[in-house]
Chain A
Amino acid sequence: MQGLPTREPDMKPDFSRLPTILLAVAVAFVIGAVVTGLSLPATEAGDVLSSETALSPASGASYPGSDISPSTSEPAAESAPESIPPNEVSLLEQLGSQPERSPVRLRIQAIGVDASVAEHGVDRRTGQMDVPRNVNDVAWYKHGPAPGERGSAVLAAHVDLSSQGPGVFYNLRDLAPGDRVAVSYDDGSESWFVVEARTTYDKDELPLSTIFSRSGSPTLTLITCGGGFNASAQEYDSNVVVYAIPLEQFPTPTPETA
């Protein structure tokens, strides 16, 4: 449903007043709410399937320095209509639609990054994220959210390539909380993010479900390789991951003092 109407946070129906009969929760695509013959409590039009993606920072992997609070739930839908409406006819066309805007450029002044961003999916041979061939380019994971949308938007780039030398994210490990990140989009718009945390994870312990989460507060997640290097395998043993949040959501440390 991806690319479909934005997913709402997980919402639990109110079962406290639920008679032993049908409680129908109108799910994605069904705008308007619910029903039953009797007047049951109206429940939210939430995507129940996202209970799977509730991937609550799996493994409790809340990253260091996190001030990101759980998403606030949407208000309940209005009172129950007479009966459940059918899905909108345009469902078919919405199914594969992409996010409204796609990132095309990434700028991080603190580490001298000004790079083009292209959409990448999955390397079907390895099951890993597909990454740029050019050491100076940045990959956006196109199956997840775009930066600024709900969930974790992933931008990945090389720390280095033996064939090309140091990569555009060579200095990602130097980013620190408070550093600003700018993302430009294909519609000409631009959004700013603020680094909130940086963590180096052993590749075996990478919190993939958090990094690639499609629910939760908007997070921009920058990834490259780092840590120790296994020369014989020609690979790093870790990933450096930087979490940033939209500038407008950055918590103000102190109240404003005119």
Chain B
Amino acid sequence: MKRMKLALLVTVLAIVPATTAFAQSSEGEVIVVHGVPDLAVDIYVNGDLTFENSTFGDVFGPLALPAGDYDIDIYATGADPDAGDPALAGSTTLPAGAVATIAAYLEEGGSPTLGVFVENNSSTDAGDARITARHLADFGAVDILANDGAVWEGVTNGGGADTDVPAATYNIKITAAGDPGTVAFDADVPLGEGTNTIAYAIGSVEGGSFEVATAAIAGLHESPSGVPTGDAGLLPGINPMVPIALAGLAVAALAGSVVLARKER
């Protein structure tokens, strides 16, 4: 079986250290994106039919998988994997703690390809959300705007980036680079706190199949660093700061000291 080795991508994936979310785990997570229009496929993972009859726009996961090596083979739906070569194939290593997107998508010009992208699953500051944009569409360079301000400019096919912003709903626009009049995508997107929302631009603008699919990596949140709820010192006396479990002991000690004090008279 002929396999297209994604050597460069594999290298990138393999050197990513485990990050906080999975530091203690031997698992990683995988998101699978089907971004090739007009092609229904069966996706085999290590020889097993895992995603059956997937169609354009499907997103699977994040799915937890043991860290390790994986072969991905994609056949037209129903094709006998023993009878011929896969339409697309690749292999990759999933490190523990990583979240990786495996995407079948169109290069600029329209050729289908398979790519692996490591997603940012580091923790987010309290109150923040993360957005990741990936340009996996048959289209030229794009600008990506949030609330009409440019976030990324000149992103080309296969490219992507992420950034952290205060959790809120944002108007997201994708336009042809330097051409705000050519809008490929325009929608209000809620970005949840502690979540990396990943937007995959897929399909072909010229062919009319362009769309944005999404996935989310949740649970990245951190706690606020404190709760500042007083600045006047109006509480009476000195609070003994005694945990309730010890309150009884404190009362007993107090009573004892009173007794002693009286005896000393």
Q: Interface on A for B, CB 8 Å cutoff?
A: 1-4, 7, 13, 21-30, 35-38, 47-53, 64-65, 82-87, 91-93, 95-97, 121-124, 126-129, 131, 141, 143, 154, 156-162, 165-167, 169-170, 173, 176-177, 197-200, 202-203, 206, 208-209, 211-212, 214, 223-229, 231, 234-236, 238-239
Contact = CB atoms under 8 A, between A and B. Distances in A.
A231 B232 CA distance: 8
A199 B233 contact: no
Contacts, number: 268
B227 A131 contact: yes
B228 to A, nearest CB: 5
B65 A23 contact: yes
Nearest to A203: B226
A182 B44 CA distance: 54
Given A64-B245, A92-B187, A127-B226, 16 more contacts: A37-B50, A53-B219, A85-B60, A87-B60, A87-B215, A91-B216, A93-B190, A121-B167, A121-B193, A128-B228, A156-B229, A160-B233, A200-B242, A212-B223, A224-B230, A239-B229
Q: Chain B interface: which size bin? A: 35 or more
7 contacts: A1-B218, A38-B48, A84-B50, A97-B192, A121-B127, A122-B126, A160-B230
A231 B231 CA distance: 9
B259 to A, nearest CB: 25
A126 B227 contact: no
Given A52-B20, A124-B166, A209-B223, A229 B63 contact: no
Interface stretch (B22-30, B138-146, B153-161): B22-30
Interface stretch (B4-12, B51-59, B110-118): B51-59
B52 A206 contact: no
Contacts of B50: 22, 24, 35-37, 83-84
Interface in B181-196: 187, 189-195
Nearest to B25: A51
Given A36-B50, A224-B230, A1 B241 contact: no
Contact of A27 (B46, B61, B70, B127): B61
Nearest to A52: B21
Interface in B100-137: 121, 123, 125-127, 129
Contacts of A35: 50
A50 B217 CA distance: 11
A124 B227 contact: no
A4 B243 contact: no
B214 interface: yes
